[in-house]
Chain A
Amino acid sequence: MEWRHKDLLDISQLSKEDVWHIFETATYFQEINSRPVKKVPTLKGHSVVLFFAEPSTRTKTSFDMAGKRLSCDTFSLAKSSSSLTKGETLKDTALTLEAMNIDGIVIRHWASGAAAFLAERLDCSVINAGDGRHAHPTQALLDGFTLYQEWGALEGKTVLILGDIAHSRVARSNVIMLTMMGAKVRFCAPRTLLPPNIKSWPVEVFSDVNEASKGVDAIMCLRLQLERQQAGLLPDVREYSRYFGLGPKQVELASPNVKILHPGPMNRGVEIDSALADSASSLVLDQVASGVAVRMALLYLYLTRKK
């Protein structure tokens, strides 16, 4: 399959075939990651800038490792988000990067649309590592890849996404990917943490976490930003964890082989029971491993695309 996409801004740009191709490529790279010498010369001579305008150790390290294992030169361009409140900076960043003649840029930014903003202005590939509350396609792909490795196929499976969906780019990108791959998606969250036009989403919405958990094949917990309480979106964390957190009861109600996912970092005891996070059902660490493989696949596909 010839890869022709220039940028990865969101899952909606990809076809089902594209996603399969990413999974297959990632499977190949997953194997490299289990070798004693985890480095291949595939992207030697290529350079990628990791531009993280919003802090994220996890995603950044994952991309950095993915690049280095393919012998790609990775450069960090981290700026504190405070110095980026002036909008000229993003345009200037784009111009600066353009002048450096790089092959790709991985961007994490607090503003929805920031990746699209760069992609419009740059000839090199732009990979969105999370923009505002808009999209987080690489996270969705690694979540999908993790489940694909467990199940082989996603068709007919039901995935419950639990937590702060309104503010979550992870949920947004996952809904698109999971439904495209044939899975059913459920949401459960207090109404204040659901998107406003929830009825138009291709999901089943629950306000009772027990109802929502019945028979599901996987439960994806989202991190609760503790500031949501100050913003008036929930009364307190205790009530939240009791009514919308994941505990043993929900696991009992779910399918016997239910899998538990969390994009991290976790608030143990808030959105997820601590013991469950470490249980045999938990795929949290598999997600981290998948992350490197999927990002290797993405760097490979985008940087060696047919121009």
Chain B
Amino acid sequence: MTNPELVIRKAVWKGEEVDLLVADGKILDIIPSSDAMYEGAEVVAARGYLLMPSLTDVHTHLREPGFEYKEDIASGLKAAVHGGFSNIMCMANTSPVNDNAVITAEMLNKAHAAFPNGPRLFPVGALTKGLEAKELSSMHDLADAGCVAFSNDGVPVKNTELFRRALEYASDTGKPVIDHCEDPYLELGAGMNEGAVSSLLGLAGQPDVAEAAQVARDLLLAEYLDIHIHLAHISCRKSIDLIAWAKKRGVKVTAETCPHYLLLTEEAVEGYGTDTKVNPPLRTADDVEALLQAIREGIIDMFATDHAPHAAHEKEVEFMVAPCGISGLDSALSLTWELVASGKITFDDFIRMWTTAPCETFGLPLNSFKKGDVADFFLFAPDEEWTLSPETMHSKGKNTPFLGQTLKGRVISHFLGGKKIV
């Protein structure tokens, strides 16, 4: 047997106290904990901590190039690694848009320069040139340059014929299309759910059918073309019912939801706090219930943060003027851990939603604590409390409605490819 370079001693994995042995950046073995001596190995005492595979976020906005004042690749990855993530997929709505191989390469260079050992960046290429929803982007070029998926996130493709062709063309590259589902005519730039609260506040609302109508379109196309499609940030019961229907018919569909859709409702918007303005908007208690049920039943496949950092001055404005988005990388782990702690989802759901499903769906390196897996993992103190504040956040974006809240569960140290990063 090779000698381990790193030994994590007496950490807990699935209820057992184990020693994790790492060599060559990979998992050598996991064995019942002992006091065995390992010649030349670095030994980390981890008693009392949970061993967790690093998380994968399939949906972030890192803002570089173009909007570095909101976030840059280095600050985004820093927030990611402190938040428990090893793999980050970043959306293409930068300036210039990531619709050509040069931009993709530059993003990857920046990521590597900031964090040579990870977290790893996996760019999502634009589905259409300039995200203008007029012409297909050069998807083969983008895939060769390192894009792992294509999306027009933020600017839905209204033209269904063009969207069909985009799905077909993308399928040749073997990379999935991620769709932000929103009927652009029903959305009215609202940033809040249409219903009781929007009526009370006198704000234009976006109805849940704006999302569900486009979900339905996408599912019908995916079935007709027999092509896999991934649906981003699902927020409401109507969409879930449609996805469940499609999955039953064997449609190749995967779907994600975000922590804020599980922990907040439209009532959070009362008081016009712009940190609650997201797209799709926060929905109702009934939608939250449907989402949790869908996670338990596997209808929703994975979590994503939809990390969308903005500068303070951009959010300190009238609600209708404010940009949409929550800065999510710093808090996503603790927020979703809360769902496990309160018994709303199981530990297995949690692991599937943050690691297995995203890695398998997008072909990213996965650590499932099997021999030979990449050694991406972190030590987690599940009961340790911390306060989400501008000081404790590593992202430049401090825009989150959870600011000031005491969260439970913290990353103690994070190892990527067997190297300690945090």
Please pick, from B194, B202, B205, B316, the residue contacting A87 in the complex, using a CB distance under 8 A.
B316
- Is A172 an interface position by the 8 A CB rule? yes
- Is A114 an interface position by the 8 A CB rule? yes
Q: Across the interface, do A112 and B320 meet the contact criterion of CB distance under 8 Å?
A: yes
B173 to chain A, nearest CB (A): 40
Q: Across the interface, do A132 and B205 meet the contact criterion of CB distance under 8 Å?
A: no
With a cutoff of 8 Å between Cβ atoms, the chain A residues found around residue B39 in the complex are none
A contact residues, range:
20 to 34
Given contacts A116-B272, A134-B202, A197-B199, contact A111 B194 (CB under 8 A): no
A114 to B201, CA, bound (A): 11
Q: Across the interface, do A197 and B318 meet the contact criterion of CB distance under 8 Å?
A: no
- Is B195 an interface position by the 8 A CB rule? yes
A47 to chain B, nearest CB (A): 25
- Is A117 an interface position by the 8 A CB rule? yes
Q: Across the interface, do A111 and B205 meet the contact criterion of CB distance under 8 Å?
A: no
Within 8 A of B (CB), among A96-137: 109, 111-114, 116-117, 131-135
Q: Across the interface, do B202 and A133 meet the contact criterion of CB distance under 8 Å?
A: yes
With a cutoff of 8 Å between Cβ atoms, the chain A residues found around residue B196 in the complex are 197, 200
Q: Across the interface, do B201 and A88 meet the contact criterion of CB distance under 8 Å?
A: no
A134 to chain B, nearest CB (A): 3
- Is B271 an interface position by the 8 A CB rule? yes
Provide the B288-331 mask, 1 if CB < 8 A to any CB of A, else 0. Answer: 00000000000000000000000001101111111000000000
Given contacts A88-B313, A132-B203, contact A196 B318 (CB under 8 A): no
- Is A234 an interface position by the 8 A CB rule? no
Q: Across the interface, do A134 and B201 meet the contact criterion of CB distance under 8 Å?
A: yes
Q: Across the interface, do A196 and B320 meet the contact criterion of CB distance under 8 Å?
A: no
A128 to chain B, nearest CB (A): 11
Which residue of the partner chain A has the closest CB to B316? A91
A201 to B199, CA, bound (A): 10
Most buried by B among A111, A116, A131, A172: A111
A277 to chain B, nearest CB (A): 27
With a cutoff of 8 Å between Cβ atoms, the chain B residues found around residue A19 in the complex are none
B311 to chain A, nearest CB (A): 11
- Is A253 an interface position by the 8 A CB rule? no
With a cutoff of 8 Å between Cβ atoms, the chain A residues found around residue B316 in the complex are 87, 91
With a cutoff of 8 Å between Cβ atoms, the chain B residues found around residue A112 in the complex are 201-203, 272, 318-320
Which residue of the partner chain A has the closest CB to B203? A112
- Is B207 an interface position by the 8 A CB rule? yes
Q: Across the interface, do B202 and A169 meet the contact criterion of CB distance under 8 Å?
A: yes
With a cutoff of 8 Å between Cβ atoms, the chain A residues found around residue B346 in the complex are none
Given contacts A112-B272, A196-B205, A196-B207, contact A90 B199 (CB under 8 A): no
With a cutoff of 8 Å between Cβ atoms, the chain A residues found around residue B322 in the complex are 87
Most buried by A among B195, B205, B320: B320
With a cutoff of 8 Å between Cβ atoms, the chain A residues found around residue B194 in the complex are 196-197
Q: Across the interface, do A117 and B202 meet the contact criterion of CB distance under 8 Å?
A: no
- Is B198 an interface position by the 8 A CB rule? yes
Q: List 6 extra interface pairs beyond A111-B321, A112-B272, CB under 8 A.
A: A87-B316, A87-B318, A91-B317, A111-B318, A114-B318, A117-B272
State the B residues within 8 Å of A (CB): 194-196, 198-199, 201-203, 205, 207, 271-272, 313-314, 316-322
